[in-house]
Amino acid sequence: MRQNYDTIELNADRSQRIKAQALVEEICDRFNLHNYFGILSVVVDEAMDIIYNNTELSTEFKSDFIFEQCVNGVCFTFKANEEVFTAVSELIEMLTNEYNILDEGKTLELIFYVNGIDEADLKARQNHFKVFFKSKALNTEAPTDFHKKEI
């Protein structure tokens, strides 16, 4: 019988990210969701960026990272002991079917429909994804005259 619920605990140590990514990979293997691995892992990593890039994160930080199989697909939830989710990134908005910030910013739900996706929605997401990364690449390119930099 396949387990349709898993929880791992994360703390303030950035190395905890690997535990969350390992769970995403294991869920994709367990439920044959290999086509969704990229989207799921990118969104979970983006949520972890919200946590671990928070300069006010205390050393006492704890969060349960929860997977749950639901009727329409899968849900990943971060339930933290601190307010860390005041907003989500454009990438999370674009790649999830639903997301919810709950408990005054202590909980973030990431919901993905995996029973099937409308072809038009899939193409729109793929196009948004391409545009997002192209614009990100253009904004992070190194200057071409870096060797002329004065010290």
Question: Which domains, from first to last, does the chain contain?
Answer: 5-141 (3.30.565.10)
Q: What percent of the chain has pLDDT over 70?
A: 86
pLDDT value of position 136: 74
pLDDT for res 138: 80
Residue 146, pLDDT > 70, answer no
C-alpha to C-alpha distance for 75 and 19, rounded to whole angstroms: 17
pLDDT at 48: 95
DSSP 86-151: S---HHHHHH-SEEEEEGGGTEEEEEEE-S---HHHHHHHHHHHHHHHHHHHHHHPPPTTGGG---
* CA pair distance 35, 113, nearest whole angstrom: 12
The mean pLDDT value of the chain amounts to 86
Q: What is the pTM of this model?
A: 0.78
Sheet holding 5-11, edge to edge: 5-11, 62-69, 73-80, 107-113, 98-102
- Is the alpha carbon torsion for 1, 117, 88, 42 positive or negative? positive
Amino acid in the structure at residue 94: M
When pLDDT is cut at 50, 70 and 90, the band that residue 116 belongs to is low
Q: Tell me, what's the pLDDT at 123?
A: 75
- Alpha-carbon span 104 to 36, nearest angstrom: 29
Residue range 30-84, pLDDT digits in tens: 888 888 899 999 999 999 999 999 999 999 999 999 999 987 889 999 999 999 9
